[in-house]
């Protein structure tokens, strides 16, 4: 608990300095299976990365979502999430991706992001993350992600504050 309070205090003090930062997206090497349409962008994630994120989340003491997504790696999952956090979700995968795992994987650079237009030039190599200020009593961090070229919102979501300094250990 002491470490959590110290982390949050450090985050609050330094949030103005790191509120907005550029994230380099890593090459996923394998085809992602979970695809999110969000405001003209397609964000794609690997199920193995989603499951590793859930294990890290459970290690922080949050067992709300379990240690696995239960998704079949042989299938592809498509969903459209509308901008905003107060929306009607169709299934638990949408909640998981917008409010738990999606922002964490984007901050880790573990996503493939494409603009709606076709072509190689529409694959983003980096994104801008804008972390909203976190108070000591906050348990979640709200994050907006922007296209560095157009400055357009390409994803918004939240994640557990405990996950902010977690590392997938993939690089």
Tens digit of each residue's pLDDT (9 = 90 or more) over 57-78: 888 888 888 888 999 999 999 9
Task: Strand 41-45: give its sheet, edge to edge.
Answer: 77-80, 34-38, 41-45, 112-115
Tens digit of each residue's pLDDT (9 = 90 or more) over 130-159: 988 777 777 788 999 999 999 999 999 988
Identify whether the C-beta of residue 32 lies closer than 8 Å to the C-beta of residue 158.
Answer: no
pTM of the model: 0.81
CA angle, 19 then 127 then 163, to 5°:
55
Which residues, listed in sequence order, are joined to residue 153 by a DSSP beta bridge?
A: 146
Tokens of 95: 């909640």
User: What distance in Å separates the CA atoms of residue 50 and residue 100, rounded to the nearest whole number?
Assistant: 10
- The residues near 143 (Cβ < 8 Å, ≥ 6 apart) are 103, 106, 107, 129, 130, 131, 132, 156, 157, 158, 159
Identify whether the C-beta of residue 56 lies closer than 8 Å to the C-beta of residue 66.
Answer: no
Q: Please check the confidence at residue 17 and state whether its pLDDT lies above 70.
A: no
Q: What pLDDT is attached to residue 171?
A: 47
**Average pLDDT of span 42-60:** 92
Residue with tokens 């994630």: 45
Per the model's pLDDT, the better-predicted residue between 3 and 95 turns out to be 95
**pLDDT band (50, 70, 90) for residue 14:** very low
Per the model's pLDDT, the better-predicted residue between 105 and 92 turns out to be 105
Q: What pLDDT is attached to residue 90?
A: 74
**Average pLDDT of span 97-102:** 90
Judged by average pLDDT, the poorest of 27-31, 34-38, 106-110 is 27-31
* Collapsed DSSP state (helix, strand, coil) of residue 81: coil
Q: Please check the confidence at residue 2 and state whether its pLDDT lies above 80.
A: no
Identify whether the C-beta of residue 34 lies closer than 8 Å to the C-beta of residue 47.
Answer: yes
**Average pLDDT of span 104-112:** 94
Number of neighbouring beta carbons within 10 Å of residue 78: 11
Per the model's pLDDT, the better-predicted residue between 85 and 63 turns out to be 63
pLDDT, averaged across the chain: 82
Percent of the chain with pLDDT over 70: 80
């Amino acid at each position: 608990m002491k470490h959590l309070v110290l982390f949050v205090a450090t985050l609050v003090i330094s949030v103005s300095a790191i509120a907005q930062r550029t994230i380099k997206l890593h090459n996923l090497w394998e085809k992602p299976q979970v695809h999110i349409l969000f405001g003209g962008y397609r964000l794609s994630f690997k199920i193995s990365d989603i499951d590793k994120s859930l294990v890290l989340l459970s290690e922080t003491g949050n067992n709300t979502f379990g240690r696995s997504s239960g998704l079949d790696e042989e299938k592809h999952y498509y969903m459209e999430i509308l901008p905003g956090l107060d929306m009607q979700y169709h299934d638990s995968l949408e909640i998981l991706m917008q409010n738990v795992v999606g922002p964490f994987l984007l901050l880790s650079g573990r996503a493939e992001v494409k603009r709606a237009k076709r072509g190689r030039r529409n694959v983003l190599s980096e994104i801008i993350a804008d972390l909203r200020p976190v108070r000591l009593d906050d348990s979640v961090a709200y994050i907006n992600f922007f296209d560095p070229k157009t400055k357009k919102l390409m994803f918004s979501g939240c994640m557990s504050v405990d996950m902010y300094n977690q590392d997938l250990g993939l690089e």
